[in-house]
Structure 1
C-alpha cells in the first residue's frame, strides 16, 4: 500500500483540538445531532469548502460546493484551486450522475454513495455518520471534535476527525491513513440554510449544457499519462489506437491496462457501476467480464483502468497516481 505524506500542520491542529476538555456527554450530543439531522431532512442548505489531498506524488487542492435539497437531492460541484468547476455529482429522483460541463458529458448510475464515502461533503450525512459511529468527543472553546473509524473501512484512510462549531455546523473534516498521517483535509468556508433551488439546479442534462460553468482549458491533442504508482508492474506497450486514443499495457504481478481517450458528448448509462471518490475526482467502478474496471475523467481526458488481479484499493491507488501528471 502506498505511503501517504502527512498534512503535518493540519494534523497537529486537529490533535490540539482533540486534547480539549469539558465536552458534553456523548448521550447529550447524540440527541442534539439527531435533532439537527431530522430538521435537515426537510431543509435546504449550501456549503463551500477547500479540500487538500496529499500523496507521495503530489498535493492537490480542490474547491467543493455542495447544494442539498431535503430529503434526498444534492449537487456536489468539484473544481480546482481557482474555483473553476470541472465535474459535478448529482443525485435526484431519477438516479445518480457525474456531469462534465466542459465536455457536455453525463454518466448515469445507481448507488448510495452519500451514505458511504460521499458523506464527507454533505452536512446531513456528516451528522448521521457521527451518530452511527463509536466516536470520541472533545471540546475546545466553541468547537466540538469527533474522532471515529472510517466506515466502510478501506486501505486508503482508516480514521476520521470532524469539527463542528457551537451551532453544530461544519468546520473541518480530516481523513487519516493507518500511519496517522492526514490524507484529506476539508476546510469548510461557508454554510447557509434555507436556500431555495430550481429544478434545473439538479438536472444533469441542463448542467451539462449550461455555459455558466468555468472549466480549465485543455489542448485538442494530449500525450498519454503514465501513472506514478504501478505497484511495480512495468509498461510493456503504449500504443495509439486512434487519434487521441491510447492503450497502455502493464505486465507484472497484476497485468493491468490503462486506456485514455477524448470522450464524446452525450449520456452514458452504466446502471451496474458504483461511485468511488478519488478525493476530488469522481470515478465509476464496474465489472468488465472477469475483470474490474475503474473509469474517470480528468482534465478533459477519459480514463479506464482494467485488471483481473487488482483489488478495489489498488485500482484507486493507481488511478489517484495519474492525477496531476503531465502527458508524454
Structure 2
C-alpha cells in the first residue's frame, strides 16, 4: 500500500514539474505580461473583422485600428456590402469625432471615449475590463490564454459578458466574443493582424486627412453616395404601430419623411435624403455618446439616436423608450421599404 502511494506521489510530482517546465502561467502572470505589453509599446496598428448579429441578419465590418500613446485613436469601420461605406471614430487633441467621409458628415462628442465603456477591438479596453472584474475566469488552451469577464456597455445592458482570447506567444488579442444574457455570442471580433510600435503618418489622426483621403489603408476610403432614396421601416417597433407618415420635398432636391408610431410607447422616426454637396465638413456638436448600431456608428443621447447610412440621415426620438429600446428599434431599421 505504501509502495503504491509512493508511486502515485511520484507521478503527481512529475506532472507538476512537467507543467512547470512547459511554462504554464497563472492568471496573474498573464495579466502582468499583458499590462507590460501595453505599458512598453508606443502604439499599435491592428486589423480585424467584426460580425454583429442584429436579430435580422449578420452585419460584418472590416476594422482598421490605430493607437498612438498620448491618447490618439483612429478606428475605421467599413461594411462588407457593395457600397463599402466607411465611418471613422477619431480621437485626437481636439476631441472625439465620428466621421462619415462619403457624406462629408462629422459629429463631435464631449466624451471620455474609449475609457467610458467596453470597446471589443481596443487592446487597452479589453485589459481594463479584465482588471475591473474581480470574478474574471481564466483558462488556457494549447494556443490561447482565455478570459471570461463582465462588460461595461453603458448604453446597452443586453451584452453583459465577453470571452477574450490572447495569443500565447505574442500576448496580443486574437478573438473576442461579446455575449448576451444567455451567453450567446452577439458580437464577434477576429483580429487578422496586430503590429506593436508601428510607424504612423504625421497626419494619421487629423480630421481633414481622414475626411478626404482614399489612397491608403491608413485612412478611410471615400465612397460615392448616389444611392436612390428608400424609406426604411423598423422591424422592431416596441409594440407601437405606424400612425402617420408625412413626406416632404426639400429645397435642395432631397426628401424628408417623418413617421409617427403610437402604442404602449410612442416614438418618431425621421429620415432625410442627404445632398452631399451641401453638407458641412465642420463637426456637428453632439450631447451624447457613441453607439454602434451594427450597420452604422451613431450618437445616442437621453431621448434620441441619430445616424447616417447610404446617403440618408436618420433620427429616432422618444420620451418613452428606454436607451436599450431606442437601440433595439434603431438597429431594426434596415432594408424594409414602406409601400
Q: TM-score, normalised by structure 1?
A: 0.85
Question: Against the structure 1 CA distance between its residues 203 and 295, is the aligned structure 2 distance closer, same or farther, given a 3 Å change threshold?
Answer: same
Matches within 5 A, 1:44-123: 44-81=43-80, 84-117=84-117, 119-123=119-123
Report the counterpart of residue 248 of structure 2 in structure 1.
241
- What is the alpha-carbon distance in structure 2 between the residues aligned to residue 160 and residue 113 of structure 1? 19
Question: Is the 2:85–2:310 Cα contact (8 Å) retained in structure 1?
Answer: no
* RMSD, matched Cα: 2.1
Measure how far apart 1:312 and its partner are: 0.8
- What is the alpha-carbon distance in structure 1 between the residues aligned to residue 174 and residue 227 of structure 2? 40
Q: TM-score, normalised by structure 2?
A: 0.82
Query: Could you list the per-position Cα deviations for residues 206-229 of structure 1 after superposition, in whole angstroms to 9, with x for gaps in the alignment?
Result: 321334444555445312110111
Q: Does 1:26 align with 2:2?
A: no
Q: Which has the higher contact order (CA 8 A, sep 6+)?
A: 1
**3-state DSSP class of the match of 1:226?**
strand
**3-state DSSP class of the match of 1:275?**
strand
- What is the alpha-carbon distance in structure 2 between the residues aligned to residue 271 and residue 120 of structure 1? 23
Q: Does 1:229 align with 2:229?
A: no
| Unaligned ranges ≥5, structure 2 | 1-22
**3-state DSSP class of the match of 1:229?**
coil
**3-state DSSP class of the match of 2:266?**
coil
Give the paired residue count.
Answer: 300
Is the radius of gyration larger for structure 1 or structure 2? 2
Report the counterpart of residue 145 of structure 1 in structure 2.
146
| Unaligned ranges ≥5, structure 1 | 1-21
Question: Against the structure 1 CA distance between its residues 196 and 327, is the aligned structure 2 distance closer, same or farther, given a 3 Å change threshold?
Answer: farther
Query: Could you list the per-position Cα deviations for residues 99-155 of structure 1 after superposition, in whole angstroms to 9, with x for gaps in the alignment?
Result: 111111111112122124452121122222222223100000120110011124643
- What is the alpha-carbon distance in structure 2 between the residues aligned to residue 23 and residue 129 of structure 1? 23
- What is the alpha-carbon distance in structure 1 between the residues aligned to residue 54 and residue 294 of structure 2? 11
Report the counterpart of residue 185 of structure 2 in structure 1.
182
Q: Does 1:284 align with 2:289?
A: no
Question: Is the 1:261–1:302 Cα contact (8 Å) retained in structure 2?
Answer: yes
- What is the alpha-carbon distance in structure 2 between the residues aligned to residue 24 and residue 152 of structure 1? 30
**3-state DSSP class of the match of 1:87?**
strand
